[in-house]
Amino acid sequence: MATPNEPAAPMTLSNDEVLRYSRHLIMPEVGVEGQQRIKAARVLCVGTGGLGSPLALYLAAAGVGTLGLVDFDVVDYTNLQRQIIHTTGDVGRSKVQSAAEKIAAINPFVQVLRFEAKLTSANAMEIFREFDIIADGTDNFATRYLVNDACVLSGKPNVYASIFRFEGQASVFGAGSGPCYRCLYPEPPPPGSVPSCVEGGVLGVLPGLLGVIQATEVIKLILGAGDSLIGRLLLVDALAMRFREVKISRDPECPVCGANPTVKELIDYEQFCGVRSQESSGAVVQVPEIQPEELKRKLDGGADVFVLDVREPHEYQICNLGGHLIPLGELPQRVHELDRSREIVAHCKGGVRSAKAVAFLQGAGFEKVSSLAGGILAWADKVDSKMPKY
Amino acid sequence: MIRVIIPAHLRTLARVEGEVRVEVEGVATQRAVLDALEERYPMLRGTIRDHVTQKRRPFVRFFACERDLSHEAPDARLPDAVIAGTEPFLIVGAIAGG
């Protein structure tokens, strides 16, 4: 059974609310008492992006009385393919403001608490204090571990989902006797080893699927109804349209929820996830880099520079510099196509894969090789504004 | 023939789509399956198990038949349904997209 959240005090429903929630009220699993619980509930949506959009929209429509929104970001065009709480007219605006307006339009009975800030170790506990349930819709490992630890330390359930390409994972962590996120994944992958949605892409409807699963789990926790995903990990494969469920257990040696915890307060999660070293070097691997303007000067000046594109063929079709295409994964088998006497500039979308390619080529004895800093996106920003960005 | 499902980004790395099938000689164990997988796709070495210790990486889990096999001994026999090919051996990795 899910963990019920007792409302602080019974909340009455107005006639307008009775009408609005009538399809809930006629279900015995919800009824007037359940709807009052939903109205009394305080739910925090961490992130108002792909997952946060359907999550917040459905929780608002369902009548969650207090919805918190945390996000520091602004809406951009690449968000609109999946972040359905935001519209074309919102591009450039604060995501929290944009989302709050849509929630108000859907259900004026919902109180929205806005946190236009990045969730950090300094503010997480204070923000979480205002809420009963936390829903994690963030997009990076550092914030995932921060949300988990703050939930465990504050004793609040973490309704979790994550997505990549066609696949998603969902669970409810840190509630009652169930495992937490660290029980499942004690450590994050090294920076750059698992691509983000920015690098690897994501099917636009996938966060819809997973965000709605999160919303469902939130409502069930509020109602204390049904079997929650506590102790279960749901694996969604949208391409095969297959839902698998696996059992997961609490780790007695978990550093945050185990018998002898070593993490008793929030830590530096960017350091924990190795983000700082990645940002400071501009790439995962420290290799020689060339700035877009310098490459442009060399090419215009007729220098003998061989441009190596290590992206995938479908990315090459979107935009390219006319370089020789060898996807990073094929480089070891196709390295013979390269002339080690020539200067080689490798590039990808943002500079991570090309840094790996340069490190590989250096290890194979290539000496005149560098990575285009910031990839083809930086080229579009600094050299060719007509280049499509993706 | 053992059916193995690997994380999406590793499928890209190995240049495969969908399930991978590997032949295992002798007793089908986690170690035998992972050895066969890495022999066929050398680029996966170090991504699922540590290069040196050969231990499962902490951001990867093994499941089959709805059970978490992550803490099973590497030489423990896999479930019969996996050996029979009716259920896949799932290698699940952490993802963070949202």
Domain boundaries defined on chain A: 15-279, 283-382
pLDDT at A283: 44
Fold that domain B2-93 belongs to in CATH: Ubiquitin-like (UB roll) (3.10.20)
Question: What are B's interface residues with A at a Cβ cutoff of 8 A?
Answer: 7-9, 12-15, 18, 43, 47, 57-59, 61, 63, 66-68, 90, 92-98
The shortest C-alpha distance from A251 to chain B (Å) reads: 10
Residue in B closest to A144 by C-alpha: B96
The shortest C-alpha distance from A181 to chain B (Å) reads: 10
Mean pLDDT by 10 residues, chain A (390 residues): 45 95 97 98 98 98 98 97 98 98 98 98 98 97 97 97 97 91 95 82 96 98 96 97 97 95 96 65 71 96 96 92 93 92 96 93 94 96 93
pLDDT at A321: 96
Note whether A50 contacts B96, CB cutoff 8 Å: no
Active site residues of A: 197, 348
**Separation between Cα atoms, residue A150 and residue A174, nearest integer Å:** 10
The shortest C-alpha distance from B18 to chain A (Å) reads: 9
The shortest C-alpha distance from B54 to chain A (Å) reads: 16
Note whether B9 contacts A200, CB cutoff 8 Å: yes
Please report residues of B whose CB lies closer than 8 A to that of A272: none
**How would you class B16 by CB atoms within 10 Å of its CB: exposed for 0-12, middle for 13-18, buried for 19 or more?**
middle
Long-range contacts of A315-318 (CB under 8 A, 24+ apart): A315/A349, A315/A390, A318/A388, A318/A390
Q: Residue A232: how many CA atoms within 13 Å on its side-chain side?
A: 14
Do residues A285 and A357 make contact, with C-beta atoms less than 8 angstroms apart?
no
Residue with tokens 């994690």: A136
From the list A51, A47, A49, the residue with the least C-alpha distance to A210 is A51
**Separation between Cα atoms, residue B63 and residue B89, nearest integer Å:** 6
**Token code pair at residue B42:** 């050398």
Q: Which of B66, B90, B95 is the best substitution to test chain A (most A C-beta atoms within 10 A)?
A: B95
Q: Enumerate the β-bridge partners of residue A305.
A: A343
**How would you class A184 by CB atoms within 10 Å of its CB: exposed for 0-12, middle for 13-18, buried for 19 or more?**
buried
> Mean pLDDT throughout B50-69?
95
Please report residues of B whose CB lies closer than 8 A to that of A137: 98
Residue with tokens 């996807």: A327
Of A163, A235, A249, the CB nearest to B98: A163
Task: Evaluate if residue B60 carries a pLDDT over 90.
Answer: yes
Q: Which of A167, A278, A333 is the best substitution to test chain B (most B C-beta atoms within 10 A)?
A: A167
Note whether B95 contacts A144, CB cutoff 8 Å: no
State whether the Cα torsion A200-A206-A208-A211 is positive or negative.
negative
The shortest C-alpha distance from A182 to chain B (Å) reads: 9
Segments in chain A forming alpha helices (H): 15-20, 22-25, 31-40, 52-62, 95-106, 124-128, 141-154, 181-184, 197-200, 206-223, 269-272, 275-281, 292-300, 313-318, 331-334, 352-363, 375-382
Please report residues of B whose CB lies closer than 8 A to that of A195: 9
Of A162, A165, A188, the CB nearest to B98: A162
Q: What is the ipTM of this complex?
A: 0.96
Of B59, B68, B96, the CB nearest to A248: B68
How big is the A-B interface in CB pairs under 8 Å?
98
pLDDT at A284: 54
User: Who contacts A231 (Cβ-Cβ below 8 Å, separation ≥6)?
Assistant: A177, A178, A179, A247, A248, A249, A250
* Candidates 3.30.420.10, 3.30.70.890, 3.30.70.580, 3.40.250.10; CATH matching A283-382: 3.40.250.10
Which is the CATH superfamily of the domain at A15-279?
Answer: NAD(P)-binding Rossmann-like Domain (3.40.50.720)
CA A273 to chain centre: 14
